Amino acid sequence: MNARQPAKTGKPAKPEPTKAPAEQTGAAQSSPVQTLPVSEDEDGMRLDRWFRRRFPLMGLSHLNKICRKGEVRVDGKRVEGSDRLKAGALVRVPPMKLEVEAPAVKRAPEASPQDVKLIRQITLFEDRKLMVLNKPYGLAVQGGSGTTRHIDGILQGMAEEMGERPVLVHRLDRDTSGVLLIAKTRKMAADLGEIFRSRQARKIYWAVVQGVLRPPQGRISLFLAKGAAMGDDRAAGRKPVGERASGQRIDPEKMRIAKHGEVDAQHSITYYATVDKLAPRLTWLSMKPVTGRTHQLRAHAEAIGHPIIGDPKYRGDMAENDPRRTDPLRNIPSEIEHKLHLLARRLMIPNPSGGMLDVTAPLPPHMKNTFDLLGFDEKQYDPILDAPEE
């Protein structure tokens, strides 16, 4: 397989929370008939989720029952719990049983003042419906095994009561720094998600990689598949293969190079361009992913023999007789911090509210130190801007 081919402020209006009766005695209470409008933030929301949001004490079985009986209407028409709502629609809410004994809705703990300050400090852009953060190195985007502090959790803790919870539009690895897009409303999250799926978003990453690439610009086209301990494979309990035929160990938590037609294989494409280099040791590489596979840029860099500096997982497997092991000219300077040198540098995307959103993140401290050490000028022209879009 040929891997390479040359080549501010303000907040959206919040729907008024629906109040239960002031006093609740007995097993259930009834509410009066109401007609409630669907807010802009609720556009596209399922009816059952709308009810759950507005009436957290109401049981799902009761909702299904009153829908079947036609007591719930949207703009005068019968509906089901799975139907999607449109902004401005009027929902007829009949007298309902509010299950007083139902457990309280679990809410995220309030964000600490330090975390709120952090979010404000790393905000690159913000308007009524979205915000762009400069994600720091080492801070996870989402929770996971052993991860208790993460951006998603902080944002949940900042959401106002009964208000919209900010939604992650895309992801970055924990050790990747840079531009991270957040939607403030469900409608904006849906619109931005569709823009990403249709590949209208243009993303540029900067990396410092081992060696010097030849050709200096090109296209990486490979099939990738998740390792045996990642995602659905982990949930299914599949076992890692263990070793390749060459006797080389396989990391079950790495994306692996797959063949076309192989189960779980997904096509991945990345354009790359050399911006500057310190031959023969290191290259400042600009990368533009066309697809968005897990660990795509890290796996691609390793696959072409130029792993990203500081990557503990996709670091390349040098043979015992590889000249880089003994050649002092190829050794990485000891002054460079052993941290992942990968930055989500720039995001250009149509703003559903109008116009184009174009946001650039600064170099994280460890990459700034490396650039200064190697004499790289971040103001230098980035040739990846001339790369094709597909």
Last residue of a domain, one of 139, 165, 198: 198
Q: Which residues span the domain enclosing 283?
A: 204-386
Task: Tell which residue, 303, 344, 298, has the closest CA to residue 221.
Answer: 303
Task: Note whether residue 9 is domain-resident.
Answer: no
pLDDT at 230: 58
**Residues contacting 153, CB < 8 A, separation 6+:** 108, 143
Whether 319 has a pLDDT exceeding 80, the answer reads: no
Same domain flag for 268 and 363 = yes
On whether both 236 and 301 belong to a single domain, the answer is yes
Q: Give domain status of residue 177, yes or no.
A: yes
Are both 377 and 248 inside the same structural domain? yes
On the 0-12 / 13-18 / 19+ scale of CB atoms within 10 A, 337 is middle
- Looking at the domain assignment, is residue 165 inside a domain? yes
Residues 333 and 298 placed together within one structural domain of the fold: yes
pLDDT-derived band at 147 (thresholds 50, 70, 90) equals confident
Judge whether 377 counts as a catalytic residue.
no
Helices (H), 27-131: 47-54, 60-68, 113-121
Which pLDDT does position 321 carry in this prediction? 60
Residue 13 lies in a domain: no
Q: Which of 148, 165, 198 is the last residue of a domain?
A: 198
Q: How far is CA 357 from the centre of its chain?
A: 17
Both 315 and 343 in a single domain?
A: yes
275: in domain: yes
* Statement to judge: residues 273 and 158 lie in one domain: no
- Determine how many CB atoms are found less than 10 A away from the CB of residue 70: 12
Residues 128 and 87 in one domain: no
Query: In the prediction, which pLDDT does 160 show?
Result: 61
pTM of the predicted model over 0.85: no
Question: Which range, of 6-15, 67-76, 137-146, averages the lowest pLDDT?
Answer: 6-15
The answer to whether 177 and 135 have CB atoms below 8 angstroms apart is yes
Residue 22 falls inside a structural domain: no
How many domains in the chain? 3
Domain check: are 225 and 311 in the same one?
Answer: yes
Q: Which of the residue ranges 54-58, 157-161, 231-235, 322-326 would you say has the lowest mean pLDDT?
A: 231-235
Look at residue 23 in the predicted model and tell me its pLDDT: 37
Both 340 and 262 in one domain: the answer is yes
Residues 354 and 320 in one domain: yes
In a domain, 215, yes or no: yes
Tell me: the pLDDT tens digits for 38-75? 887 777 888 988 888 888 777 888 888 899 999 999 99
Domain ends where: 166, 198, 230?
198
Q: Of 41, 43, 152, 173, which is the active-site residue? A: 173
Residue 141 sits at φ, ψ, to 5 deg, of: -80, -40
Q: Which residue has the higher pLDDT, 320 or 26?
A: 320
pLDDT in tens, 91-139: 999 986 655 444 444 566 777 888 889 999 999 999 989 999 999 999 9
The residues, any chain, with a CB within 8 Å of residue 87's CB and separated by 6 or more, are 38, 39, 40, 42, 43, 187
CATH code assigned at 119: 3.30.2350.10
- Where does the pLDDT of residue 9 fall: very low under 50, low under 70, confident under 90, or very high at 90 and above? very low
Whether residues 173 and 250 share a domain: the answer is no
Question: Does one domain contain both 279 and 188?
Answer: no
- Residue 65's CB is within 10 A of a number of other CB atoms, namely 13
